[in-house]
């Protein structure tokens, strides 16, 4: 059954979308665009938290952001592949939601799952438009644009999105994943993202990007496709 969305955001793990693109999704939802989130794995190999906790946190974060839907494909964390089986699972959700824009992990990052996820989703976007690939009840669909959000690696963005009005909600959505981030009461093993400085660094990067387009906060994305506009005054 088709449920039309304007934007579909993919993450290798349940908190990836929040970290990389929550501000953009929140601000576009406020403008009237419907979006959904698809997590590829349950994040079961994560050092902190349980699968049950992470599912609950992901649901809470989705509500904070205003997502129309959030689902999990339950690929094997750390071991999923960019192969036909996984591509077809992504093809089906692309055809199910018919997004104009797909947002996903960067194809290069510190965590190998992130790079694989970015490549997997990008290839699936192309395959989803091929008529000879059959998915019962779902017609071919190819998004107009694929944007890769920036996570750990300091990649050079090709587009910056003003998220000044959504920054507080973005941070609230990130903090909904409380098992993963700084908690002075936690007795679990510390990780890179559970350090108290990490969340401040998320805001610092948004402020850094924002200065380039003369706004308070921005998120950066990488596009392999040339971007064009009809109205030059849409450019900040």
Q: How many CB atoms lie within 10 A of CB 11?
A: 29
Nearest-angstrom CA–CA distance, 160 and 144: 18
Tokens of 16: 């990836």
Tokens of 97: 């939601």
Q: Where along the chain do its domains lie?
A: 7-234
Residue 236: the pLDDT is 82
Nearest-angstrom CA–CA distance, 195 and 191: 7
Task: Give 134's contacts (C-beta < 8 A, 6+ positions apart).
Answer: none
Residue 188: the pLDDT is 92
Task: Give 71's contacts (C-beta < 8 A, 6+ positions apart).
Answer: 36, 37, 38, 39, 93
Nearest-angstrom CA–CA distance, 43 and 51: 7
Residue whose entry in the numeric block shows the structure tokens 């690939």: 133
Residue 28: the pLDDT is 98
Query: Within the chain, where are the H helices?
Result: 16-30, 51-65, 84-97, 112-127, 167-175, 196-212
Tens of pLDDT, residue by residue, the chain (236 residues) = 789 999 999 999 999 999 999 999 999 999 999 999 999 999 999 999 999 999 999 999 999 999 999 999 999 999 999 999 999 999 999 999 999 999 999 999 999 999 999 999 999 999 999 999 999 999 999 999 999 999 999 999 999 999 999 999 999 999 999 999 988 888 899 999 999 999 999 999 999 999 999 999 999 999 999 999 899 998 88
Q: pTM above the 0.75 mark? A: yes
Nearest-angstrom CA–CA distance, 51 and 31: 33
Degrees to nearest 5, angle at CA 221 with 62 and 39? 35
Specify the CATH number of the domain 7-234: 3.40.50.10320
**Residue 231 CA, distance from chain mean position:** 27
Residue 2: the pLDDT is 80
């Amino acid at each position: 059954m088709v449920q039309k969305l304007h934007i579909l955001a993919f993450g290798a793990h349940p908190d990836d979308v929040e970290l990389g693109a929550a501000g953009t999704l929140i601000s576009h939802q406020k403008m009237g665009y419907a979006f959904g989130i698809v997590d590829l794995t349950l994040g079961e190999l994560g050092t902190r938290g349980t699968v049950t906790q992470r599912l609950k946190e992901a649901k809470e974060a989705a509500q904070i952001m205003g997502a129309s839907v959030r689902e999990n494909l339950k690929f094997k964390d750390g071991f999923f592949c960019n192969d036909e089986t996984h591509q077809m699972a992504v093809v089906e959700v692309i055809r199910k939601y018919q997004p104009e824009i797909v947002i996903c992990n960067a194809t290069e990052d510190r965590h190998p799952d992130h790079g694989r996820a970015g490549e997997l989703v990008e290839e699936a976007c192309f395959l989803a438009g091929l008529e000879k690939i059959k998915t019962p009840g779902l017609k071919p669909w190819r998004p107009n644009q694929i944007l890769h959000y920036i996570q750990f690696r300091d990649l050079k963005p090709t587009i910056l999105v003003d998220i000044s009005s959504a920054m507080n909600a973005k941070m609230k959505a990130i903090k909904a994943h409380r098992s993963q981030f700084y908690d002075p009461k936690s007795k679990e093993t510390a990780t890179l993202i559970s350090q108290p400085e990490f969340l401040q660094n998320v805001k610092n990067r948004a402020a850094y990007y924002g200065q380039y387009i003369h706004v308070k906060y921005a998120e950066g994305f990488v596009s392999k496709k040339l971007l064009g506009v009809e109205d030059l005054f849409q450019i900040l």
